[in-house]
Amino acid sequence: PFFQGHFPGHPVMPGVLIVEAMAQTGGVLMFSKEENKGKIPLFAGIDKARFKKPVYPGDQLIIKVEIVKMVRGVGKAKAEVYVDDNLVAFAELLFTAVQIS
């Protein structure tokens, strides 16, 4: 349904949904780290987000996230999104891991 209004006659995937996909992928990666056992990852921020090409209905996103730094439960990740081997978006993501009480 979001393609209908974004934009009529020229549907593209909203950038905010691409960012959400990067954040969720990064959260899963943070959750899988041994030092974060018993914790939940929380998305803390985004830097240097860029959208290089539009994403159209039917495109398949390949999302690659790499943790580049972890310090005392705070992680910085590099995220890239591809369609057909073409880079369509990238960003730096920040996460924190909080203890489950």
**Hey, which residues are catalytic here?**
6
The answer to whether 65 touches 25, Cβ cutoff 8 Å, is yes
